[in-house]
Amino acid sequence: MNTKEEIQNRINAIEERMTRPDFWNDKDAAQGAIKELQSLKDELEGVGKYDKGDAVVTIFSGAGGDDAEDFSGILLQMYLKFFDRKGWNYFVLHKNENDHGGYRNITLEVGGKGVYGTLKNESGVHRLVRISPFNAKQLRHTSFSMVEVIPKFEKPDEIDIPPDDIRVEYSKSSGPGGQNVNKRETAVRVVHIPTNLAVHVETERSQAQNKERALAMLSAKLYKLQDEERKAKERGMYVSKTTQIEWGSQIRSYVLHPYKMVKDHRTDVEVRDVEKVLDGNLDEFIEAEKNL
C-alpha cells in the first residue's frame, strides 16, 4: 500500500504532465494517465476501487418464522423503491420464496453508478417490532432479517482462492414452493470450506455460467470479509466469520408497535415516519453511514 505522500507525489507528477503541450499527442497514453489520476485521487480520499461499481444484495430471514420471512419481503420492497429512485437496474439471481409472499432468502444484482459504495454499510441485521399478522392473539412480535451487500466481481479470479478450499454442488433450478422448473442440474451452490461462506446461483441457462457467476460472488464475499477484518484490526476489534441473525446484533430497528420509529443503532439516526422509510426513503440513514 502506497503512503499518502507517495500517492500525492504521483498525482502531482501526472498533473504536471497534463500541462505540457504534447500531452495529447499519444491519445491512449493520455487517457490512461487521466484514469490513473482519478484512481489515485479516489485512493487518497479513501474510496475503495469497487465503490463506484455494481453490487450483489442478499436478504436472509433469521429468527421469527413467517414473520421474519414477511419482514424480508418488506425490506426487499423498501430497497427496490430506493433503487427505483436512484434509477438503478436490478434482477434476481436466486430466491427462496414462501407461500404468502415472504422470502427465506433472495439475492439481487444491482447495477448503476456508485451502487456498492452507497449500499455497502446497509450490511447487517435488521430488526422489526410489530403486532404479528400471523398470530390470532394479536401479540407483539420481534423478527430479524440480515442484509448482505457485496461488490459485483466481473471475474472469479479477482481474489485468489485455492481450488481445494472450494466445494461445488449442483441441483435443479426451482421456482416458488420448490417446484422444479428445469430438469437438468443447472443450479450451482459454491461453498468456501475454511469460512463456510456459500453462494447459490440458478439464473443462467447453463451450469458453467452459473458456476462462474457463483465463484465471482464467492470472491466478492471473501473480499468483503477481508475488508471488514482489516477495518476491525485498525480499530483493535475482532470480526466474527458468522453473524447471528438475532437480538443484540441488529444495526437498525423498525418499530411499528407500541410506537413508530426507525432507529439506526450505529449512527443514532432516528426517523418517526416509518412508512416513509419503508417507501424507500433511506437517504438520511445512508448519508450518516458514510462516517462509519
Higher-pLDDT residue of 79 and 290 is 79
In the chain, the domains with their CATH numbers are 4-44 (no CATH), 50-292 (3.30.70.1660)
CA dist., res. 204 & res. 213, Å (int): 9
Higher-pLDDT residue of 257 and 159 is 257
CA dist., res. 161 & res. 225, Å (int): 14
Q: Using an 8 Å Cβ cutoff, are 262 and 284 in contact? A: no
DSSP SS3 for 35: helix
pLDDT at 228 over 70: yes
Q: Show Cβ contacts of residue 239 under 8 Å, excluding neighbours closer than 6 positions.
A: 225, 228, 229, 232
Q: What is the mean pLDDT of residues 164-191?
A: 74
112 bridge partner residues: none
Q: What is the mean pLDDT of residues 131-147?
A: 91
C-alpha cell at position 18: 497534463
pLDDT of residue 247: 61
pLDDT at 241 over 70: no
4-18 and 27-44 helices cross at what angle (nearest 10)?
150
Q: What is the mean pLDDT of residues 241-247?
A: 59
pLDDT of residue 292: 80
pLDDT digits (tens, 9 = 90+) for 8-58: 889 999 999 998 889 889 988 888 888 888 888 877 765 587 888 999 999
Closest CA to 141 of 249, 68, 248: 68
**φ, ψ of residue 187 in degrees (nearest 5):** -70, 140
Q: What is the mean pLDDT of residues 54-81?
A: 94
Instruction: Determine if the pTM surpasses 0.95.
Output: no
Q: Using an 8 Å Cβ cutoff, are 210 and 186 in contact? A: yes
C-alpha cell at position 255: 418499530
- Residue 174 DSSP class: B
C-alpha cell at position 78: 423498501
pLDDT of residue 244: 62
pLDDT of residue 270: 97
pLDDT of residue 231: 74
Long-range CB contacts for residues 170-174, cutoff 8 Å, separation at least 24: 170/207, 173/202, 174/202
Neighbours of 275 (CB within 10 A): 9
At residue 271's C-alpha, the angle toward residues 269 and 273, to 5°, is 170
Q: What is the mean pLDDT of residues 92-116?
A: 93
pLDDT averaged over every residue in the chain? 87
DSSP SS3 for 29: helix
Q: What is the mean pLDDT of residues 192-215?
A: 91
Strands 166-171 and 140-151: unpaired
Q: Where are the alpha helices (DSSP H) in the chain?
A: 4-18, 27-44, 65-86, 115-119, 207-234, 274-278, 283-289
